Homo-oligomer: A and B are copies of this chain.
Amino acid sequence: MRYRFALIRSFTLSAASGHPAAAGGRTKQESLPNHADVAHLLSDVDWELLAGPVAPYGDWAVENREEFALVGAARLAIVKQACESGKYNAIVLLGGGEPGAPAAREIARRYGIPVTSSAFSQMHVASMVGRRFSFVDLAESHSMHIYDLVLQHGFADRCASIRSINFPHSRPRYDAAGRDLHEEKRKALRGEPSAAVEEAVAAAVEAIEEDGADTILFSCSGTFWLRPFVQKRLAEIGWEVPVLDGLSTSITLAKALIDLGVDASGLVFPGDHPRRWRRKRTF
């Protein structure tokens, strides 16, 4: 098998959290969110789904910078272990906000293993199929974390906007009940009307008509399920716009990097004892 992937989740919550991810499933396929959407991409991959770290900040989904910093740091041990195991030739970091991604790439490069992640992969594919993309996001603090990622990856000139539908996850002192994204997903899959779908379509249309987006992305893995629904609706409206998600693009670019035999430039992710050093770096 050419591809041997570790898919590493962002965090682990307790069963009591009520978060769908906590429930898990009997098989890895059942446990991987939106597996059906990517089954064809995984058909030639020998993959495992690795649990994320127990969320160090509390028993809820990651949303703000503090939580991303904590859970990102905690995920690095899992990344390192996956690299050391020798079982994988690529690592796919799950989670829209890609906690721990830059350090994970640095670690994996020591092993010659490429790492892909959600914002990274969506923005690169969006740049191939279009000129300017917009993210659909779900919460104030999360949006600014994504803002940081756009800057860090050097895509500010291609990001038309980050549009919010304001569907924050439950967290202490905020109960998402009545406006819960997981419930919206269940509704949509049952074919019932879903406010999240409606508002995501509206946000995408505004991104297209007002902000100049020609490609639509999703910034939180909790919203990746919206992709086919939004894609279908935009097509019906007449907007011929690609809609991407972080999981399918991450799997696809991981394969591409393996095929090409590259992982990351040693000048961008230097090792601790590099043979040569650069006198200067410029922007």
Chain A residues within CB distance 8 Å of chain B: 40-41, 56, 63-66, 68-70, 72-74, 76, 100, 102-103, 106-107, 120, 124-125, 127-131, 139-141, 143-144, 147-148, 150-152, 154, 156-164, 166, 171-174, 203, 206-209, 211-212, 214-215, 237-242, 244, 248-249, 252-253, 255-257, 259-260, 262-283
Contact = CB atoms under 8 A, between A and B. Distances in A.
B156 A283 contact: yes
A67 to B, nearest CB: 8
Most B C-beta atoms less than 10 A away, residue of A56, A69, A161, A173: A69
A184 B281 CA distance: 24
Nearest to A236: B275
B163 A279 contact: yes
A74 B158 CA distance: 32
Contact of A268 (B131, B160, B161, B174): B131
A171 B127 contact: no
A130 B264 contact: yes
Contact of A130 (B66, B162, B207, B265): B265
Nearest to A213: B267
A131 B262 CA distance: 14
Given A41-B259, A127-B154, A150-B283, 4 more contacts: A154-B157, A162-B281, A212-B282, A239-B267
10 contacts: A125-B256, A139-B277, A143-B281, A147-B283, A157-B283, A164-B279, A173-B273, A206-B279, A214-B265, A244-B262
Contacts of A273: 173-174
B271 A141 contact: yes
B106 A64 contact: yes
Contact of A281 (B161, B172, B238, B271): B161
A169 to B, nearest CB: 10
Contacts of A157: 154, 157, 283
Contacts of A274: 140, 238, 240
Contacts of A74: 73
Contacts of A151: 151-152, 154, 283
Contacts of A174: 272-273
Most B C-beta atoms less than 10 A away, residue of A125, A211, A212, A282: A282
